[in-house]
Amino acid sequence: GEVARRVAGFTKRPRAYKTAVISVTSGQGTITGFAQAVCAILRHESVEAFVTDAADVDGLYEASLLGADMVFMADDARFAALGLFDRAAADNGACTGAGFAEALICAMGAHREKVLVLGASAVGGAAAAYLLQKGLPVDLYDIDARTLSRAHLPYEGATKLKEPPRLAKYRYIYDATTSAGFITAGDVSGKTIIAAPGMPCGITGEARNIATVIHNPLELGVLTMYYTCAQRMEAGEGRR
């Protein structure tokens, strides 16, 4: 929660927003337990959160009737938090990218070295942009050259790598891929710190016993979404 608030620019907890989590049945359908897991994460952060009985548009209608300020919804294309009254929105890919980037910065302490970002799509691109905004140089690599070339990095200090990097030369790594177990014990040392939001986790068990690994499947992304949306809701209130 503290890391998520740092991303959103809060120095203390903002006022709580009643939040509904709504299941969506379109596309490949609902993931069993997903809405309940998101709700539990929000409640752990003392958010008044609930899962609607209904799904889809009917769930959105239920959330509105029950006085929700914010809703969380996910389909095959997007997982988003939406402010019902303030035209505020937060996307999971961007928020997960920024949240784990901030966690990596916190773990660095006084060190400010180059970060290798693996994966240049939504999460990795957002992570690279966040790190660059904070003044950290970034090497960015993606196995798909087209994805790498399309990555938009609005700040200076980035190098797009054309060849696969030698992982062992980097102290700080951000793994935004969805490849399992490709970072091995030979790629890390006791000083290596890896932020790894991807599922499945790209670091082998052996490597995790050596390096410091920041990884969780859902928690940091969800809380960064909540606080980012809250910040935008508060900004909307200030404009009125």
Mean pLDDT of 47-72: 97
pLDDT tens-digit series, residues 155-211: 899 999 999 999 999 999 999 999 999 999 999 999 999 999 988 999 999 999 999
Helices 34-44 and 219-239, axial angle in degrees (round to 10)? 70
**Average pLDDT of the chain, as a whole number:** 95
Distance from C-alpha of 8 to C-alpha of 232, rounded to nearest angstrom = 9
Q: What is the pLDDT of residues 22-45, one digit of tens each?
A: 999 988 888 899 999 999 999 999
Q: Could you tell me which of 3, 64, 68, 72 has the C-alpha nearest to residue 42? A: 72
Query: How far is residue 202 CA from its own chain's centroid?
Result: 16
Locate 206 and state its tokens.
């052996």
Whether residue 239 is predicted with pLDDT greater than 80 in this model: the reply is no
Taking the C-alpha atoms of residue 113 and residue 191, their distance in angstroms, rounded to an integer, is 12
Question: Which pLDDT value is given to residue 31?
Answer: 87
Note the pLDDT of residue 240. Answer: 47
pLDDT in tens, 116-145: 999 999 999 999 999 999 999 999 999 999
